[in-house]
Each structure stands twice: as C-alpha cells, then as structure tokens.
C-alpha cells in the first residue's frame, strides 16, 4: 500500500483563504448597499447574537442586539431546521442563504444571508430583508430546495489504494470536474492528516479479515475544502479477472457539523461553569453525585481529582453535623416535593467558611424531578462583616462589654424567660480622681484592667455591660436567690479591690456595689436596675466597698 502526502504548499492554501475572505467581504458590502432597510445582527462562532463591531461601519443601520440568544431562536419553529441547515452550510462554505420568518413578525418571509467575517471583523454577519411587497405576502415552498449534490457515491481501488474507477456521483460529491483528477491517484493522500491512522487501520483490517470495514474521515474536495464521509471498504481483491476494493462513501458532513456545533457549545458551557465564582453541585434522583465544578471543591477544601471527592458523603463531611442534616433535608425536599430551599452552614477545618447552598430541583419536560442542582456561594466575608457590625452596635468600643442598650436587652430576655435573675451594679471608687490626675490614657488602662478582673470573677453564663463612665452592670442568669446574688456581688467586689499597676504608676481601687434580685416572672427590668443603683449608692456611703442588697 502506497500513501502519498499532501503536495499542496502552505503558501497556496494561505493565498486561497485570503481570496475567499476577500470575496466574502465584498459580498457583505454588496448586500449592505443593495438592502439599506435590512435587519442586521452579528453572531459568534457558536451562533450567539453579539454586538456588531464598529469596524463594520454600519452607522445608523437597523441593528438587532438581542445578546445571548441565537439566530435560530429568533425564527418561528417551522423555519428553524432550514436555518440550522444553512448554518451548517455556512461553516463549510463561509456564506449561506435561507428564507425564514421572525417570531416577532411571523407573517413576513425574509431572505437571510449569513456571511463569515470572523477573519476580518470577528463575527458572522447576518442580513435579512424583504425583497418586495409580493414576496412578503407570498408563501414560499413548504421546504427549502434540496441540494442536487449526491450524498452517496462509490469508487474502486487496487490493492495499493490507488483509484481504478469512480462513478459520476463521486465526482459531483467531491467537486471534481474530470475522472482523470481522481483515477490513478492514491485515495489516502486526500485524507485529512488527523484521520489517516483510522483509514490505515480499517484498510489493514479489511485486507486481513476479508470483511467490510468502515472509517469516518475527512476527504479533500476539488476546491481544497474537506468533506466528512463514512467510507465502507469491501474486499474483492480475490475476484477473477482482477481484484479490487469497493469503497462506498456517504456524506455525513451535516451530522458532523451539528456534532461539532454541539461540542463547541458544551465546551463553552463547561468553560463558563468552571469560571463561575460560585460552586456547583448536581445530584441524580438516587442522591448520587453527578457533577461538581472546581470552585466547589475549593470552597470545601477537597482535592480535585481525588476519588474521595466524588461522593456526596465526602462533601457532607465538610459541612458539620447540623449543616449536613440541613442540606440532606433540603435535597430530600427538592427530590420529593420539587421544593427549592437555601441552606446556610459553616464548614470545618482546615479553614472555616460560611456557605449558602441554593438547592433547586431539576425538572424534566414531563414535570418529574430528575435530580437536584445547588449553587454554593461563599458568604464568609459578608457574614463576618455582619457579625462585626452587630458586635459594634451592641458593644462598648473600649472594653468590649455590652453597651447599655445591649445589656438591658439581655436583662429583659432573662426576666421574660421566667428564670430568676440578679443585677450587680458596680461603680469604681475614685476613678474620676485617678483619671484627672494621671490622664485619660491611664483611666482607659484602669478600666480595661478592671473589666478583666470583673470577667474573672463572673460565672460563664453571666453577662457584663458598661453603662457609661466607670459604671458597670452584671446580669446574673439563673441565680438561685438573693443570697446567691449577694455572694456573686461580694466575689466581684473582692476581685476589683486592690492595687493596679498602670503605665503611669500604681493606684489603689475599690468599688461600690449594689445588688437586686428578681425571683418571679414579670418583673420590670428598669425598676430592677434602679433598685440595684440605689443599693450601690448605699454601698458608696458606707465607704467600705461592701456589696449591698436592694430593699424590696
């Protein structure tokens, strides 16, 4: 078997492509001049409508910019197949024409010319016009004219792969004018380089097994273009009177063009999905993981390509017990009820993150839920910012203790819960004198140290608030009785009493402390604080730093 390589020079191919590109640009200019009122739009290689580039110089022409849709989407349903066929022809020839009706004007037929200008302007230009009033009113044939080019042909080859004979359909199908252009030449030299291995494999198998073999390849045509064909080889080499191989070719270019267009769209979709800032998750109806994008694995700190990351359990394990339970419930609701839910949860190590899973059912055309898809947004920064704002709104900026509004809210909530509650009202003695003598910086340092001692003397369930200046309040939660509240206050007073080592020097400090207790539901929070304040003033008058219980 002899295989001869492509003898066409690269310079000839470049010159031919330039000639065709110039012809397409000339055709576009002529059509624009001929039809000044035509509807114009531009499409990408995938068929999506895109902005018309300024380089076309259309000025105030009627331009459609329905971005994101395809030219096929604009047509009525009955005309879409004709448009698809024209699109396939465009990809092969660089120019195509079709009659179609717009969904926005379904009673008017338009001639539509599509011209590939990607080499000069980056788009496929589409021009649609109504030729005349008569054509606008007339109904065209039910189907577009069918090309007269044959879709099936045969040739005969010798044992070396050289063409012995071909039928007229072969010449027409591949665009040859004379049989001499084909006969005597090896067929293999006309096969696309990327497909030659498949041809050789099929030929060798046909010779070895004497059974028909098929290969799908691209064959060079007379105009130097390529045509996809299914070629079936039949082995008649042992026939008397001179053997041969019969090759039957079927034109599958339309099918391949449709497949390539679909693959292009799928590749575009995959690229878009992978570039999304959100994670994506898809489950089938059996809760099996069907798809995750790279961003989701990053959010859950799972390694890409790891088989462990391909199961739903590995994803749920990153969501914590409560988060995993909420997410399972949302998935079950989507599959069983078709309900959409949002689940906010926090992941664990190595880096805790706050995520929102937006869980949606995937509905088939018949309304049956076929699976679940979830988009996953990282709201860690916004959640932390929200928590920080809430903290600032409820905290004293210097000490970090609750401010007056927040500590009063804590007290009301404790009383409304029905639990016994106590209030310890603290006033630091001689604080103003220290602040005036040593300065505000020393005063702030003293307050911070006092708060640290306060926290050390409190129970973990109690809450500290700063009422202002040197006055603090501790809400005692679930305290047993007035005596227990008084003991807690005495513990706080003892912790505050003593020497404080400040940057400006050592100072001695005591605190006046009042205690009030509410043992029954329905007590008035403001009145409880007033009673503790009154008791604190009685403590201050005693000048001993002892805790004083409020009178009933």
What are the pLDDT digits (tens) for 277-319? 788 888 888 888 888 888 888 888 777 655 444 567 777 877 8
pLDDT value for 1: 40
Domain-located, residue 432: yes
CA atoms of 219 and 527, how far apart (whole Å):
96
Domain co-membership, 487 together with 426: yes
pLDDT value for 475: 95
Number of domains in the chain: 4
Domain-located, residue 261: no
Instruction: Please answer whether residues 512 and 490 qualify as being in contact, where contact means their C-beta atoms are separated by less than 8 angstroms.
Output: no
| Spans of the chain, pLDDT less than 70 | 1-14, 66-68, 131-148, 241, 269-270, 272-273, 275, 304-311, 349, 387-388
pLDDT value for 354: 85
CA atoms of 258 and 72, how far apart (whole Å):
13
Domain co-membership, 410 together with 377: no
Q: What percent of the chain has pLDDT over 90?
A: 37
Domain co-membership, 234 together with 306: no
Domain co-membership, 230 together with 343: no
Looking up residue 218, the CATH number of its domain turns out to be: 3.30.450.20
| Three-class SS of 268-286 | HHHHHHHHCCCEEEEEECC
Domain co-membership, 14 together with 105: yes
Containing domain of residue 17, as a range? 10-137
Of 112, 137, 162, the residue at which a domain comes to its end is 137
Looking up residue 400, the CATH number of its domain turns out to be: 3.30.70.270
pLDDT value for 155: 92
Domain co-membership, 369 together with 426: no
Domain-located, residue 267: no
Domain-located, residue 113: yes
Which DSSP state fits 145? P
CA atoms of 339 and 360, how far apart (whole Å):
7
Domain co-membership, 239 together with 363: no
pLDDT value for 138: 44
Domain co-membership, 161 together with 116: no
| Assessment of whether the complete model's pTM goes beyond 0.75 | no
Contacts 24+ apart (CB under 8 A), 277-281: 278/375, 278/376, 278/377, 278/378, 279/355, 279/375, 279/376, 279/377, 279/378, 280/373, 280/374, 280/375, 280/376, 281/315, 281/357, 281/373, 281/374, 281/375, 281/376
Of 109, 137, 165, the residue at which a domain comes to its end is 137
Which residues face 374 on adjacent strands?
A: 281, 359
Domain co-membership, 30 together with 132: yes
pLDDT value for 522: 74
Domain-located, residue 170: yes
Domain co-membership, 435 together with 545: yes
pLDDT value for 18: 77
Domain-located, residue 228: yes
Instruction: Please answer whether residues 430 and 438 qualify as being in contact, where contact means their C-beta atoms are separated by less than 8 angstroms.
Output: no
Domain co-membership, 528 together with 425: yes
């Amino acid at each position: 078997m002899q295989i001869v390589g492509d003898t066409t020079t690269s310079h000839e191919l470049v010159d031919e492509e330039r000639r065709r590109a110039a012809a397409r640009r000339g055709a576009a200019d002529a059509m624009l001049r001929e039809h000044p009122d035509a509807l114009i739009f531009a499409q990408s290689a995938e068929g999506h409508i895109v902005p018309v580039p300024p380089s076309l110089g259309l000025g105030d022409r009627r331009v459609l910019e329905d971005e994101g849709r395809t030219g096929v989407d604009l047509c009525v349903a009955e005309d879409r197949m004709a448009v698809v066929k024209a699109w396939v022809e465009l990809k092969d020839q660089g120019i195509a024409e079709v009659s179609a009706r717009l969904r926005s004007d379904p009673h008017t037929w338009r001639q539509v010319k599509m011209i590939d200008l990607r080499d000069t302007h980056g788009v496929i230009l589409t021009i649609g016009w109504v030729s005349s009033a008569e054509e606008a009113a007339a109904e065209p044939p039910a189907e577009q004219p069918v090309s007269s080019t044959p879709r099936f042909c045969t040739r005969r080859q010798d044992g070396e792969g050289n063409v012995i004979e071909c039928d007229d359909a072969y010449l027409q199908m591949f665009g040859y004018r004379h049989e001499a252009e084909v006969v005597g030449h090896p067929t293999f030299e006309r096969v696309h380089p990327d497909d030659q291995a498949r041809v050789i494999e099929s030929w060798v198998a046909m010779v070895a097994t004497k059974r028909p073999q098929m290969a799908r390849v691209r064959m060079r045509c007379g105009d130097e273009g390529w045509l996809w064909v299914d070629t079936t080889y039949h082995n008649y080499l042992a026939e008397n009177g001179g053997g041969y191989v019969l090759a039957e070719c079927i034109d599958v270019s339309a099918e391949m063009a449709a497949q390539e267009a679909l693959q292009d769209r799928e590749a575009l979709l995959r690229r878009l999905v992978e570039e999304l800032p959100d994670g994506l998750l898809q489950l089938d109806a059996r809760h099996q993981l069907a798809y995750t994008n790279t961003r989701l694995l990053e959010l859950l700190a799972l390694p890409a390509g790891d088989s462990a990351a391909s199961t739903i359990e590995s994803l749920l394990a990153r969501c914590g017990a409560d988060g995993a339970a909420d997410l399972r419930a949302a998935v079950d609701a989507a599959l069983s009820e078709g309900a959409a839910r949002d689940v906010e949860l926090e992941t664990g190590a190595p880096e805790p993150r706050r995520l929102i899973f937006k869980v949606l059912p995937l509905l088939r055309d018949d309304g049956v839920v076929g699976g679940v898809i979830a988009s996953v947004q990282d709201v860690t920064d916004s959640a932390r910012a929200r928590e920080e704002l809430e903290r600032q709104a409820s905290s004293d900026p210097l000490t970090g203790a609750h401010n007056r509004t927040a500590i009063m809210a804590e007290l009301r909530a404790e009383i409304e819960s029905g639990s016994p509650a106590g209030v310890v009202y603290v006033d630091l003695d001689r604080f103003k004198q220290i602040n005036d003598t040593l300065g505000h910086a020393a005063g702030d340092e003293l307050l911070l140290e006092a708060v640290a001692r306060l926290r050390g003397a409190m129970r973990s369930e109690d809450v500290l608030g700063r009422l202002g200046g040197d006055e603090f309040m501790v809400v005692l939660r679930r305290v047993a009785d007035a005596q227990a509240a008084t003991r807690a206050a005495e513990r706080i007073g003892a912790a505050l009493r003593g020497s404080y080592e400040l940057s400006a020097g050592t100072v001695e400090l005591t605190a006046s402390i009042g205690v009030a207790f509410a043992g029954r539901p329905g007590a008035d929070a403001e009145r409880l604080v007033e009673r503790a304040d009154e008791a604190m003033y009685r403590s201050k008058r005693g000048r001993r730093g002892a805790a004083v219980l409020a009178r009933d």
